[in-house]
Structure 1
Amino acid sequence: MEPTVVGVDIAKRVFQLHWIVSDTGAVFDRQLRRSQFLEHFANRERCLIGMEACGGSQHWARRLIELGHEVKLMPGKHVKAFVTGNKNDVADARAIWAAANHPGVRAVPVKTEAQQAVLALHRIRQQLVIFRRSQSNCLRGLLGEYGEVMGVGRAAMNRAMPDVLSRLDSRLPRVLIDSLREQWQRLVDIDKQIAAIEQRLRTWLRENPACRTIAEIPGVGFLTATAAVASMGDPKAFRSGREFAAWLGLVPAQFGTGGKVRLLGISKRGDRYLRTLMIHGARSVMKHAKDPGSWAVQLCMRRPLNVVVVAMANKIARTIWALLAHGRSYSASYPPPLTAT
């Protein structure tokens, strides 16, 4: 017997449910408070529960799986296509139910708490990097108002800041000089926080066999390795390396009509952060590629550099999937050369 499909629109305090009983065709729309949600499903037979992949959905998915249910998390933009009429909680729950029944809507992997913890470290680090860049630009802009222009890059700024502040000390009010020193010190503090997070990620890489395996791939550093393993979840959820690369948005988007298909730029679907790491890693590989007979160098002779970089990132993504899905170790000479018999 097929499990009953239940569409759930989750929120902070109120959860909207929608399901149809297959035997009788009865339609149910029910609203539950947060404290009633797990209790409701604890008393039900096994269900297929569809939810949008949004804030808190991973937590509820894990809890529902512990109760013996099957959970299908779906991207919000795929669910949006099933919303008809006015948007409200009831309409959203019905759209989620319809999307969960549709075979063409791909599910988002349900992550473990450990995997989510690693991704949380990546998000905190990414936020600190944004803060550092904003802080640095603000400090440069303020000093530029007084004729002090420094060289490009953080190293040039660190070398110039002591002399800049000493020159301005006699011209500007003391309260501003003290504030500028505090802003500069804040950059140093952010650097220390980022370094501490990176050290924790390196520790997790050393303790995780999957991370150590894919870290051997050229172009995959500790950031890409930890983010890829944590984001992918179960690698066997993808049927092939091409499907994993498509999930990351590293394949061409298509526009077709009347039997004619035109390939566009990369689709940019999926996790933007992980895709960015892949492309930066591929760019590093291209920068150090010296073998004139290699695939990348040969491709550079007939295609633009950025196209080759994305193709290399696609190849890295496929390699990551192959190693994790088949439990293999990286070998630069794979496949082995054929020997004459």
Structure 2
Amino acid sequence: MKHSVYGVDVAKRVFQVHCVDMETGEITSKQIKRAGFLEHFVNRAPCLIGMEACGGAQHWARRLMEMGHQVKLMPGKAVKAFVHGNKNDVADARAIWMAVQQPGVKAVAVKTEAQQAVLALHRMRQQLVKFRTMQSNGLRGLLTEYGEVMAVGRAALDRAMSDVLARLSDRLPAVLIDTLREQWGMLEKLDQQIAAIEQRLSAWLKQDKACKTIAEIPGVGLLTATAAVATMGDAKAFKSGREFAAWLGLAPGQTGTGGRVRLLGISKRGDTYLRTLLIHGARAVLTHAKEPSAWVQEISKRRPPNVVTVALANKMARTIWALLAHDRQYERSYVSVKPA
């Protein structure tokens, strides 16, 4: 028996629901207040509910799945293709209803609250790192206006700031010197907040089996391991490691017509943050590995360094999927063999 299909456009206070009755063809399109959204589905037979992967969608997906419904979260790009005419809530809900029934649309994983909490820590850490960089660059820019230029790097900034402020204290107002000293002190506070988040992520890694498993892969550290497990959700949702790597944007894009296909650079689709961590991890392996693998040595002879880095990041992503999907431990000497 086929399930009914619903398209839901999630908003802050009012949700738009679109559905077509499979027997009569009757179209239902109506608004539902936030407080009555779950009540609308609580007594219904199990159905397929499609939503766009946006703010709050993970929460509603978990609640609907607890009621026995099947929920499919879709990226906005997949939904946009089905929006016809003017864009409004009614058109968006209809587009979601159409997109959720397409077999080729790759759904976004519905994450547990624990996985989403880990991703929240990553987002807050990323924001603090950005604030720290902005603060440091702001100090350098202000001091340059008074003829003080420092070497590149945070360590050089910390070494020079005391002497710089002492020299400028005779020329500039005390209110500016005190403010510059306070802004410099803020960098240490940001360091402490970032370190505290990393300690919490480290504690989660030690108690999570999946994180400990993939942390054994060269180039996969604390941030990459925790972000990969939380972002992926269920590894078995992907058919293969290649699909997971392509989902992260590490596979080549392609263009072509008339049977001729031309491969481009990496597509850069998917999660930018996790893809960046994997590429940085691969670059660290290539830079610091004392005994690079035979695969790395062979590909390094044929390809430029950046291509080798992305290729290794792709291989790391496939290894992560293989370990989690098949519940295996990392083995450095393992050789993958296709079944006969």
TM-score range, shorter chain: over 0.9
**TM-score for both structures, normalised by structure 2:** 0.98
The correspondence of residues 270-281 of structure 1 with structure 2, limited to 5 A, is 270-281=270-281
For 1:70 and 1:169, the matched residues in 2 are separated by 66
For 2:155 and 2:295, the matched residues in 1 are separated by 36
Share of identical aligned residues, percent?
72
Letter in structure 1 aligned against 2:29: D
Deviations 1:111-157 (A, max 9, x none): 00000000000000000000000000000000011111111100011
Partner of 1:175: 175
Letter in structure 1 aligned against 2:37: F
Deviations 1:41-65 (A, max 9, x none): 0021111000000000000000000
Partner of 2:42: 42
Partner of 1:83: 83
Contact 1:244 1:321 in 2 (8 A): yes
Q: Is residue 189 from structure 1 mapped to residue 156 from structure 2 by the alignment? A: no
For 1:75 and 1:289, the matched residues in 2 are separated by 37
1:290 shift after superposition: 4.3
Letter in structure 2 aligned against 1:74: M
1:13 shift after superposition: 0.2
The correspondence of residues 1-341 of structure 1 with structure 2, limited to 5 A, is 1-291=1-291, 294-335=294-335
Contact 1:6 1:48 in 2 (8 A): yes
SS in structure 2 of the partner of residue 73 of structure 1: strand
Deviations 1:194-220 (A, max 9, x none): 000011101100010100000000000
Letter in structure 2 aligned against 1:209: K
**TM-score for both structures, normalised by structure 1:** 0.97
Letter in structure 2 aligned against 1:235: A
SS in structure 1 of the partner of residue 100 of structure 2: helix
Letter in structure 2 aligned against 1:241: G
For 1:145 and 1:249, the matched residues in 2 are separated by 42
Aligned length: 337
For 1:63 and 1:82, the matched residues in 2 are separated by 26
Contact 1:292 1:298 in 2 (8 A): no
Q: 1:336 to 1:85 in 2, by over 3 A?
A: closer
Gaps of 5+ in 1: none
Q: 1:74 to 1:336 in 2, by over 3 A?
A: closer
For 2:91 and 2:293, the matched residues in 1 are separated by 58
For 2:2 and 2:179, the matched residues in 1 are separated by 66
For 2:228 and 2:336, the matched residues in 1 are separated by 27
Letter in structure 1 aligned against 2:86: N
1:293 shift after superposition: 6.4
For 1:41 and 1:259, the matched residues in 2 are separated by 47
For 1:202 and 1:227, the matched residues in 2 are separated by 12
Q: 1:293 to 1:214 in 2, by over 3 A?
A: closer
For 1:7 and 1:84, the matched residues in 2 are separated by 15
Contact 2:286 2:292 in 1 (8 A): no
Deviations 1:271-326 (A, max 9, x none): 00000000000001111234476211221111110000000000000000000011
